[in-house]
A and B are shown apart, each in its own frame.
Chain A
Amino acid sequence: MNWNDHLPALILIIPLFGAFIAPICSLGGKTARNFLLVVISFITLIVAFMLWRHVLANGISYYVMGGDKFNLSLPSGMALPVRIILEVDAFSAFMALCGAIVSFAGALFSVNYMNRFSGMGRFVSLYCLLTTGMLGMMVTGDIFNFFIFIEISSIASFGLIAFWRDKPTAIEASFKYALISQVGSMLILIAAGTLYGKYNMLNMAAIGSVLKMGTMEKLALVFLVGSLAMKCGSFPMHMWLPDAYAEAPTGVTCLLVAVSQASLYGLMRVCYSIYGAAMGSSFIPWMIIVFGLASMFFGVSMAVVQHDIKRLMGYHSVSQVGYMLLGLGVGLLVLDDARAMADYGFTAIKGGVFHIFNYTMYKALLFLTAGAIYYATGKRDLNEMGGLARRMPYTTFMFVIAAAAISGLPPFNGFVSKLLIYESSFAVHPFLAVVALVTSVLTLASFVKVFQTAFLGPEKNSLAKIQEVPAAMLIGMAVLTAAILGASLFPSWTLSTLVEPAARALVDQSGYIGAILGGGM
């Protein structure tokens, strides 16, 4: 049996197996449970890497769950695909790789961070379930299966955000997130049901091949865009994001960053591969661009005035999601105009896709450094910190790298992706680039403030006895730092090998459809 064929299913089987086996393993003590968490995350990372290499070498890879052969999508001469089909093209494999790296870093961090808490067997199980849900969102090719994986990751995150049951703010944050998430998920289900009722198919590629824009399809598109933008944290629906990211345990926040990116992946898959050329009017692309602008501006202006370090980073998440929505929205705007696409549209999509990778790495690293500060000092308020650089040198170094990357300073990877977004959005209308530049300046100001207050300056008396965080947490942060430095030192390799195939696969709707409908024996 060729393992390369079963890779899309393996990337779901392994975290799922980890989630099922965790309560039994936790009977064996703390070491067995931590070992299981780290080993499962590491094997998932290896499988995601192998899947990415396989897709780059062999084109779109699809997998039929429960079929006679793993790639028999049209059995015995049927015209439409049956069964749940996982379809992995270069964009899905790229996102799965980002998600697996972040999940590994969060697992390493949680080994030491959560060592004072009870009920850790359930934590490992929920963490692996959240990883399964996130990876499932990224590889599936069926719109109802996508809803199922959104629900799996939402329910796991309700439990994980409220994991510190002693903190009243954590319970409040989880309840708020649960309400908004449930309404959004019901809207996604109505949209999936509408598309099924009209076309009698649930497969994304099959719907994309027969879609014609009408009232019901517009309704489904509006519901899908609204709910998936809510789950990414874009402007009008971002209220849950700073609360949920701030109150969750830090390893979980690190993974929640990647889960929001999976919802962004879903939004792009719906707009580019299901609706694609049939989008018709440019209302939805302009709505996505407006959401992006509003998220950028309001996110960073709320972030500048915060004095709780994790809440500040949560508001910065809102503004960075705005960059991705801007880049991908500009690409969607010119999807049917070949000359504009070659001029600035494809650059915008490349910028948006590269920004997804950069944002996942540096935002997860920022949250992990904030968690390391909290573990060492017990404080989250910037007014009470000072002079930490002397006692926590490694954490300071990694914070500087992440803060420089998020602000878009030139040697780092954040600069490259932001430059691509600036120059392509300037070609649409200069105002878009102006808002993006102002946001970047305010982001830099905010992080200079945090660095100055927390790490530099005189040491406070209450912080005289802190020491550097344990080794496992440092290794977790080092994984993400290595990814950021790798992308910064080799920008042209990263752009041509990592980003360009993903951007090309996103734009290519006919390739996505043809892989399944022209497939089978």
Chain B
Amino acid sequence: MIGNAPFFAVGVLFLMGLLGIFMTKNLIKIAIAVTILGSSVNIFLVALGYRTGGTIPVHFLAGEGTTMVMPTPQAMTLTAIVIALATTALLLSLIMLVWRHYGTIDVDEIRRLRG
């Protein structure tokens, strides 16, 4: 049961991010919630690769251990972090442009497209 603690953390963080997107009224807090969502998925991917008693998955530096942790989820996580960075940069730039046009960053006021 204690070995499943990272996955409980993933669930809690994912729900926090999702609730943040639905409930807050400030656009910047929505962007922060999206970042928390991305971080939870990254923790999930890294925790998937762990093998009990494993060591670094590099032949030169592994030492005497025979089990290695899986390196593929680590590569997946790196890629997901880069993508989340690009998305966050774009979201923040869009928020700046929204402030310039509407004068406010409250979600309820930004509704010119409807119907």
Contacts and interface: CB of A to CB of B under 8 A. Distances in A.
Do A and B touch, yes or no (CB under 8 Å, in the complex)?
A: yes
A155 interface: yes
A183 B18 contact: yes
Leading 3 A-B pairs by shortest Cβ distance: A168-B101, A197-B48, A151-B83
A165 interface: yes
Nearest to A307: B115
Contacts of A151: 83, 87
A144 interface: yes
A192 B95 CA distance: 30
A172 B97 CA distance: 9
A247 B101 CA distance: 15
B94 A158 contact: yes
Contacts, number: 83
Interface in A160-194: 162, 165, 168-169, 171-175, 178-179, 182-183, 185-186, 189-190, 192-193
A275 B76 CA distance: 23
Interface string A182-224: 1101100110110011001010000000000000000000000
Contact of B79 (A148, A155, A168, A193): A148
A189 B37 CA distance: 11
B58 interface: no
B37 A182 contact: yes
Chief secondary structure at chain A's binding surface? helix
A169 B98 CA distance: 9
B80 A189 contact: yes
Nearest to B99: A171
B95 A179 contact: no
B90 A158 contact: yes
Nearest to A175: B94
Interface of B: 18, 21, 27, 30, 34, 37-38, 41, 44-45, 48, 70, 72-73, 76, 79-80, 83, 86-87, 90-91, 94-95, 97-98, 101-102, 110-113, 115
A41 B106 CA distance: 41
Interface of A: 144, 148, 151, 154-155, 158-159, 162, 165, 168-169, 171-175, 178-179, 182-183, 185-186, 189-190, 192-193, 196-197, 200, 202, 243, 247, 306
A196 B48 contact: yes
Contact of B41 (A155, A171, A189): A189
Contacts of A202: 72
A162 B94 CA distance: 8
Nearest to B112: A169
A174 B101 CA distance: 14
27 contacts: A148-B83, A151-B83, A155-B83, A158-B90, A165-B97, A168-B112, A171-B94, A172-B111, A174-B94, A175-B94, A178-B90, A178-B91, A179-B91, A182-B34, A182-B38, A182-B91, A183-B18, A185-B83, A186-B41, A189-B41, A189-B76, A190-B41, A192-B76, A193-B76, A196-B76, A202-B72, A243-B113
B87 A193 contact: no
B79 A179 contact: no
B24 to A, nearest CB: 12
Contact of A193 (B21, B45, B97, B110): B45
Given A168-B102, A171-B101, A186-B38, 19 more contacts: A148-B83, A151-B83, A158-B87, A158-B94, A162-B97, A168-B101, A168-B112, A171-B98, A172-B111, A178-B90, A179-B21, A179-B34, A179-B91, A182-B37, A183-B21, A186-B37, A193-B44, A247-B113, A306-B115
